[in-house]
């Protein structure tokens, strides 16, 4: 399944009774609030189930990071409660830049569920086209997904440091955080030495839709993230970096890039880890 699905393609799949109806996951979330579940209760795609980033798509914050990978058993329970079944496609959406939906996409892929996509343009594009929404909360039949971690490559801090030397490690945060000019959340400012700044916002084009595969391929080529080079990504807490992994796949990368799941929130919490600042990788 391609990592992105258009609003038109999703609407067609939902209307076609001969198709396996996708499970829809509403993962709207905002760092500064209001809670995404409030927006979900007001209106959402028909049949969509709300899944919370903080409590279901991440483990408790701590030394492993602000959004560490969730316990597999807890993730399995959350996905089964949302109706995710083996052999059935899943589509995730948010109402922002697609990065939270990309986190859901990445986790499902990591869990061994390959049929998952992110709605291109998200909730905003769906509503802008006059497509149906509802405030009715569904009661999905319980799913039977088996979470088997390991289908997507994961880096720890040592692995991220090694990749920054031997391949390409992309930092998905905004330039001001990468350079160390500001750090509003984590203990120290700067970036992993050797990492290259690749803000995740560069993946989007006009109207909040993802850029074309050709444009994404050109973007990553400029960062030396070629298909024959090992590539990994990190961000502040391991969420927006998932959109880098997705964008690389959409650009045609044959093998998935690795995710430094703990990301900067894990790296910066260790005072023994070196930190680079400025525009250069360091």
Kindly list the catalytic residues. 235
Q: Contacts by 181-187 with C-beta closer than 8 Å and gap 24+?
A: 183/268, 185/66, 185/236, 185/237, 185/265, 186/66, 186/236, 186/264, 186/265, 186/268, 186/269, 187/268, 187/269
Nearest one of 94, 108, 77 to 40, comparing CA atoms:
94
Tokens, residue 145: 């997904």
Q: How far apart are CA 5 and CA 96, in angstroms?
A: 16
C-alpha to C-alpha distances, 180 to 62, 241, 273, 275, nearest whole angstrom: 22, 18, 15, 9
């Amino acid at each position: 399944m391609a990592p992105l699905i258009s609003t038109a393609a999703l609407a067609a799949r939902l209307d076609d009774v001969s198709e396996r109806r996708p499970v829809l996951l509403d993962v709207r979330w905002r760092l500064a609030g209001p809670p995404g579940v409030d927006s979900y209760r007001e209106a959402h795609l028909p049949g969509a189930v709300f899944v919370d980033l903080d409590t279901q798509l991440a483990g408790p914050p701590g030394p492993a990071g602000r959004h560490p990978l969730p316990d597999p058993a807890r993730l399995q329970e959350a996905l089964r409660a949302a109706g995710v079944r083996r052999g059935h496609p899943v589509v995730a959406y948010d109402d922002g830049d697609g990065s939270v939906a990309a986190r859901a996409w990445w986790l499902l892929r990591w869990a061994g569920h390959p049929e998952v996509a992110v709605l291109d343009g998200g909730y905003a594009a769906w509503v802008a086209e006059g497509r149906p929404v509802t405030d009715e909360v569904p009661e999905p039949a319980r799913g039977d997904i088996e979470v088997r971690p390991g289908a997507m490559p994961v880096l720890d801090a040592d692995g991220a440091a090694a990749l920054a030397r031997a391949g390409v490690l992309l930092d998905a945060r905004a330039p001001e955080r990468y350079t160390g000019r500001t750090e509003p959340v984590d203990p120290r400012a700067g970036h992993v030495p050797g990492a290259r700044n690749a803000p995740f916002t560069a993946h989007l084009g006009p109207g909040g839709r993802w850029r074309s595969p050709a444009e994404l391929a050109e973007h990553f080529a400029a960062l030396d993230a070629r298909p024959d080079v090992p590539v990994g990504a990190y961000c502040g807490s391991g969420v927006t970096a998932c959109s880098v992994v997705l964008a690389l796949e959409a650009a045609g990368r044959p093998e998935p890039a690795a995710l430094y799941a703990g990301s900067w929130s894990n790296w910066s919490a260790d005072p023994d880890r070196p930190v680079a600042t400025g525009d250069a990788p360091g």
